[in-house]
Structure 1
Amino acid sequence: MSMKAMTAGEAAKKVINREELFVLDVRNTDDFEDWKMEGERFEYLNIPYFDLIDGVENILDKLPTDQEILVVCAKEGSSVMVAEMLSEQGLDVSYLQGGMKAWSEHMEPVKVGDLNNGGELYQFVRLGKGCLSYMVICHGEAAVIDATRMTNIFTEFAKEKGVEIKHVFDTHLHADHISGGRKIAEQTGGQYWLPPKDAGEVTFDYQPLEDGESVTIGETTIEINALYSPGHTIGSTSFVVDNSYLLSGDILFIDSIGRPDLAGMAEDWVGDLRETLYNRYRSLSEELVVLPAHFMIIDELNEDGSVGQKLGKLFEENHGLNIKDEGEFRRVVTENLPPQPNAYEEIRKTNMGIITPEEEEQREMEIGPNRCAVR
């Protein structure tokens, strides 16, 4: 059998299309248990590379013979060697090109829907990290919301669509991934917007994103309306796009709610979080489709690979929106927090412009799963 390379994009298609795949992950067990490729119909076997240096004979009975096997490691090298050994044993095997680092960075654009007056809304799904970014386009103009540091994905997509990026927004100061918003604005001459309450320590110029601010994209009115919604951070700001979509940042997810502790302010901000979720959001139309800045688990993906759900449905089904007692809400939110994101303090400082790590260091800082939600 021959050995093939599988790109992160090809693997992403298997996730979105809900295809079967057998993943042999040869990273250390701790790394595998902390963070792995997720697919609804994926099967997994974790055998550290060092256990396979002398050969793969001892694991052959654990591997399928009628199914494609994908060997995964951190950066690619170890998986190539294991895949070669398996190929020599006659198995149909691929290795993940670029390893988990490439998987962490891949983003899959998915069209969410058409807007009034000829506009379109796209979601960029970062399957390996759980990040969700957005682009609103209309009549030759575009706005980008919550961009990742892989800025070329957005600039190239805009070029493909024949649109010019005029505005770039961050819903809040991110702590789990490095924002590409400011860089995209610099590259395109667009306006970079940031909530001022999150920008107290930033070292760069920005346009203050205030409650009630309205930005029009294109010649006609595809409006992005800012809605102050603190709780995850003190400046967190949601957007209502075209009276149809609620971009909730890290305040509200499909199956959870935002954590209030990434600036060390959990006890102070939990009240803001409740006010946003139980009062500000309650006053909005339940027909709005909630589009968050992250997803937690692969089950949250819709059939087309997008992540989104009507606000009314979330009020019915999201546990975080159905805790009537305020004391109980405070307890649930402050006692059910997952480990904090890898290098989150350094990521916040990078997003403030206080430090400027090299590209490879930024990559390392982001390794690991999304941890923006209350469990």
Structure 2
Amino acid sequence: MSVTAPAGTEQWVRGALAAHWGEPWAGARLSPLTVGGAAPLTHTAGLWRVAAPGGGPGGPGGHVDHVLKVRLNAEAVRPGPFYPLKDRVAAHCRRRGVPVPPAVPAADGRTAVEHDGVPCELTPHCPGVPARGGRERAAAVVATGLDLREALDALPPDVAGELAPLRLPSLVEEEHPPTAFRDAVDRLLPKAERGTDPWHRAAAGVLRELRAAEPLLREAPDAGARPSVVHGDLHIHHFLLDPRGEPRVLAVLDFDNLHVGDRLLDLAWIADTAVLACGDDTRAARDVLAGLLRSGRRRGLLRPGDEHLLMPVLTAHSLPVIVDIAKDILDRGLPSPQWLAYFDLLSPARRLTAHRLLTGPRAD
């Protein structure tokens, strides 16, 4: 359920900035955030680029760009204790060298505030670009992703205990994967194939991919296996790379899906993102994944045989989201241009390709 106007409008955003970060912010230059002219990949929040008054966060003189995230989907809101815990995890990762942008505290010191009941967060804007672009960018994602996973493995044990009750929002945990799969194949796919518009064709395409990926789902381990604090959303838009010079990750974004789950989920996302970054270059993808396995094993992040579980874990995790988007198109009549980008991001066909590359004779 999304909140209604005026929440998320420019006037409302200026009021939120003034109320929580101070009056000078109310006059800042504002613009809806875009990436390459398109809206960023999020269906749960409105993102605004804010030119803050100051050479640093809130400081005098000059301007520094920031991003205000307005959590417009009530179903995506986490319980109040989640946000300071997320800050603790992010700070821990920064101390271990992972480039996680720090949130900008509001006037009362909180980094997540509610304005008219809507959660808002302010962070520095990163000038980086998504990791698409070939072998070097894919390798940079792998290196930083493994650094992040190593940092999360080194968290104090009490963090997992505090995080476990703060469950993921319902929009991420839609259905038991086998139930969602049967609904997708038996009901939604025939419904999509009866339509002729671009939305039905797109839904039919991804649902056929999902049907072909059933072997991965049969191999998926229990969701409670290898419990750990996981980022949970390490897709290609959450690694921002330096657009100039040698590829390096400038920022790892969006810890909003932080939860206690199977630690292989993060490693699976890293592998999938590396394949997506390589584009059509299958040889590069194979080489980058072989490097991931070598480095992961050397650092104690992957055990022998884990390569067979990565894509099954990720496919099972993503399946309910794919099915829910298909329902938006086919059952609820809610097409959105972003659904096409999500289908690409969550492609079961790419996960099948990644699985073959990870488990084939040249994988390691």
TM-score, normalising length: structure 1: 0.24
- Structure scoring higher RCO (CA < 8 A, sep ≥ 6) equals 2
When Rg is computed on C-alpha atoms for both structures, the one with the higher figure is 1
TM-score, normalising length: structure 2: 0.24
> Which protein has the bigger helix share?
2
> Which protein has the bigger strand share?
1
